Chain A
Amino acid sequence: DQQVKQNSPSLSVQEGRISILNCDYTNSMFDYFLWYKKYPAEGPTFLISISSIKDKNEDGRFTVFLNKSAKHLSLHIVPSQPGDSAVYFCAASAVGNTGKLIFGQGTTLQVKP
């Protein structure tokens, strides 16, 4: 039972354009959502997060949107840069559930110069 799903294994965008990465979840107890970026042979690096009491959080070029009714979140990267090429994981944690993260399968983003 995959509680967090990233249905697009890969995404390719042109440098300077917007990258939109999507994530769906099934567990209505999730109350905190995070995006991590991962390069090969490295650990995930935290990017941005959002609490379930919000529907948007912005940090520089990165914005996360949360649609609770649709159980959907997305990460927007504007403008995309070649250095953004990596695997992006969305993750979620549930209230009172020891903080463990449930990860999606990841989306590989390629930003072409």
Chain B
Amino acid sequence: NAGVMQNPRHLVRRRGQEARLRCSPMKGHSHVYWYRQLPEEGLKFMVYLQKENIIDESGMPKERFSAEFPKEGPSILRIQQVVRGDSAAYFCASVPGLAGGEQYFGPGTRLTVT
């Protein structure tokens, strides 16, 4: 059973470039959460999606950040015009379909903005 997969594992972008982070949930899971972990901090919720629908984006910055989870393919977190403050580890977690309960995390994507 494949777990939650994220790619790339490491991503380096220059300021002003775009970053695309991908997340494939566990088999049979149709809901995905994205979290961000800044250095020396805990994980912070960003967005919760099910296929073709954003359920809760209350943790997303208002500008430059967007997320989608298409009917086919992985969920994508997109950061436009990256700045140094976007450097962090980005984790996605999947759940079978009901909100609540334990979430299963991927290995994360470490974004470095130079």
Q: Note all chain B residues with C-beta closer than 8 A to A103.
A: 35, 42-44
Q: How many positions in chain A have a CB within 8 Å of any CB in the partner chain?
A: 24
Report the minimum CB–CB distance from A32 to chain B (whole Å): 6
Of the candidates A6, A32, A89, the one whose C-beta lies within 8 Å of that of B43 is A89
- CA of A41 to CA of B104 in the docked complex: distance in angstroms? 16
Q: Note all chain A residues with C-beta closer than 8 A to B56.
A: 98, 100
Complex contact B95–A105 (CB within 8 A) = no
A44 at the interface (CB under 8 A from B): yes
B99 at the interface (CB under 8 A from A): yes
Q: Note all chain A residues with C-beta closer than 8 A to B104.
A: 46
B: residues with CB less than 8 A from A are 4, 6, 33, 35, 40-45, 48, 55-56, 58-59, 91, 93, 95, 98-108, 110
- A98-B99, A99-B103, A101-B103 known; 14 new pairs, CB 8 Å cut-off, are A4-B42, A6-B42, A32-B101, A41-B110, A43-B107, A43-B108, A44-B91, A45-B105, A89-B42, A100-B33, A100-B58, A101-B45, A103-B35, A106-B42
